[in-house]
Amino acid sequence: MKKIPTGISDLDAIIEGGVPAGSVVLLFTEIGAGGLEYLYTSSAKLLRAKNKPEDAPTVLGDECKDSKLPGDIHYITFSRAREDILEEVKTSFDEHYYETIEESVNFKDLSKEYFQRTMVPPGWSGDGEDNLFSDKSDTDLLESLVDFLEENAEGNMVVIDSLTDLLTNSSIDNDKLVTIIKGMRRASKKWGGVAYLLLSKDIVDEGLEYHIIDSVDGVFSFKWSDNPRVSQRQRYLIVDKFMSVLPHLKRQKIARFTAEVTDYEGYVVINYERII
């Protein structure tokens, strides 16, 4: 089975080279617990390994020597501008992260379609005149998303930032969105890349959350420690669902990964806790 590295070297070492090619992975994150940082770190490290193959063993680790790198990385955004995302990376991480993402990630901005049926003027999303009554096109957002995936997902890494935006947009039918996710899961086996879907926890009702979890191949949950005895809040990464990944974790009796975010290394797994 071909694997695509996550770019988090200690995690890749344990799951033997990354996630299976052709996977749709939900990044289910508490606010600030590491979902975005995981995406930025993964994108930057995979691109560095691709752009400089001689550095790949150092960047990704020896466990990924037989893994498959995605051809390109496409970052789909609905409510945030490319410049805002890059500024966030620039102020949070070392400059090599910013330079790599700025130069090599392909950003697809669907804000025009996202805001078109709202009270937000086109000028606020960087499109057209800053006028509430400006003429607005009527391009279906989900159709635009599907068209982009159909043209660009094969062999590549696709980031959808975020499902939260889509699920809280009143003009989008959530049942249609879940159906599209299920279709992505089926089509991804043909595409042979990896798709990451970012979703903030506790934004939509629990039943819809479970419906989405049931529609993807794997779920990485990013959580904060709720231990009152710990003075400093600790981030955790938990693999909640992944049929071809979980057996490796169970064999080593791993319950959850302890993680931290640093400006130089990005999102890093620093330890794991075993089941007693």
Q: Please state, in angstroms and rounded to a whole number, the distance separating the CA atoms of residues 9 and 116.
A: 41
Per residue in 163-200, pLDDT (tens digit) is 999 999 888 999 999 999 999 999 999 999 999 999 99
Q: Which residue has the tokens 């496409």?
A: 74
Per residue in 197-253, pLDDT (tens digit) is 999 999 999 999 999 999 999 999 999 987 666 556 789 998 887 876 666 666 655
| CB atoms closer than 10 angstroms to residue 219 | 19
Q: Please state, in angstroms and rounded to a whole number, the distance separating the CA atoms of residues 163 and 201.
A: 11
Residues near 173 by Cβ (< 8 Å), separated by ≥ 6?
none
∠165-169-174 over CA atoms, to 5°? 95
Tell me the residue range of the domain where 24 lies. 3-274
Helix 141-152 to helix 174-191 angle (10° resolution) is 10
Residue 254 has pLDDT above 70, yes or no: no
Q: Please state, in angstroms and rounded to a whole number, the distance separating the CA atoms of residues 60 and 49.
A: 7
The CATH code of the domain that includes 14 is 3.40.50.300
Residue 146 has pLDDT above 60, yes or no: yes
The band of 1, judged by pLDDT with boundaries at 50, 70 and 90, is confident
Count of domains forming the chain: 1
Q: Please state, in angstroms and rounded to a whole number, the distance separating the CA atoms of residues 201 and 164.
A: 9
76, 163 contact by CB (below 8 A):
no
C-alpha 146, offset from chain centre: 17
State pTM to two decimals.
0.90
Side chain identity, residue 197: L
